[in-house]
Structure 1
Amino acid sequence: MLRLDGRVVLITGLGQQDGKSNVWGIGAAIAVLFARQGGKVFGGNRSFASAMVTKNRIEKEGGVCDVMETDVTSSASVKTLVDACMKKHGRIDILVNNVGRSEPGCPATMSEEVWDSQVELNLKSVYLLCHHVLPIMEAQGSGAVVSIASIAGMRYIGKPQVGYSATKAAIMQFMKATAVIYAEKGVRLNTVVPGLMDTPYTKGMVARYVKDGGSEEFMKMRNQQVPMARMGDAWDVANAALFLCSDEAKYITGQKIVVDGGITSFTGKPLKL
């Protein structure tokens, strides 16, 4: 079940800052899990050093992983990544789009520069990877693409981040529409939609959203927002991505799996009747 033996997995955003940490990033967890299931991982990451942390973890377990420094907002850089993967393996069976950053601001307060950077990193990156990889998958007659969105693209989650929310919503529709276009070509496209997750990125977000310290209260608040009373972690997202890329999901395309502990089904504090 859920095996990826021999399949070539191209993934972005797989870096992990600390090889000793038990708190995993989503991309690192996906890369490690896919390698454990037999996939051959080829990763592009903004930081080569953090990508090497993930590569070393995979190879220590006997898996296969190559990494490159990649700017996912640059078509030339993305093409270099794709070409290198093809030169090494001759095919791409799975594409995982996993980059993103949330910047605070509403339309009145967010600068044009920040807005543009949100669109470039969160949304254009998905377009560029698909632009260069989908023709390869079409020629193969097979392939699976998963993009990582966010419940911020489905509802307001307590902080002003209009650029992030808009781009993550756009990813879901991009994947849905493209899935229909490629349905007869043997290529499936789906989205994983994480809720509030406890990752290294989440801890870094405190500096952008929380003033005068308060990081502990911020994390406590995030736990309390979830009906299950706790945040999820990177492995929850990785498991959903693995399913969507596996043969067990061969009749699933144009869909999203929401991994959120119930938060998008929750309307707020329950009434006391």
Structure 2
Amino acid sequence: MKKIAFVGAGAMAEALVKGLIAAEHLPAKGIWLTNHANDARLQELHAAYGVTITRNQTDLLKDADVIILSMKPKDAEAALSSLKSANLNSKQIVVSILAGIHTSFLESYLPSNQPVVRAMPNTSATILEAATAVAAGVHAGSEDMKVVSSLFKTVGEAVEVEEEAMDAVTAISGSGPAYLYYMMEALEEASSQVGLDESVSKQLLIQTFKGAAKMLEQSDLTPAQLRANITSAGGTTAAGISVLEEQGVKAAIQACVKAAAARSKEMGQAFSK
């Protein structure tokens, strides 16, 4: 791959840019970016990463192997309208990382044979630890999916799913880091309340999260079984878990995910043809 073009230069685009460069997927100068109107933002990214920035759409799209739509969803129609007359060819893969927007909506603006792939990464791409799901549009073949999957695998793990699953993916892995940060925030505050030094609690909590994730990754046991293994009757863990159950924390987490999935679906309904 020699060139990737980003249409949109927000936080997720920057996370992918940083990850792609760190993974040496292609030279920084082969990563091109534009956005709607924020020149200062483009200059900031150029200074930080050495990427190519432009306001010329012809230059942006020329010879781009992959075109990544990473603008805000509210700007999607305007961006797609400009792409409609851009003379894209069928070898150029259009990848959308826009939450809630279906490939059918994107395809309605593009040439009839344009390969379109929908992807949902998360911001852990910045440290090459993203969890990304990719779903094929009507004209995206197996080779197109290999290219897109390999791109996102440079910044973490990538799995192929049917598009019908993308609202759920958005709610789980797309928004998931925020849920975990929220939990970490609560644990840090609780650590202070029980008398633990802030720097010590942060160090312990980070390693605890890392260790728990590795245990789940390397074990054949379910999360419920791993939890049971360290929850002795009458012990400290049991005391804590009983409060979580009394407070309905599991139900709250489930409701959180359902709300996020519903919002993703709602956003998609606003972009339907």
Settle same-fold status: TM greater than 0.5.
no
TM-score by length of 2: 0.39
Identify the structure with the greater helix proportion: 2
Higher RCO (CA-CA < 8 Å; seq separation 6+): 1
TM-score by length of 1: 0.39
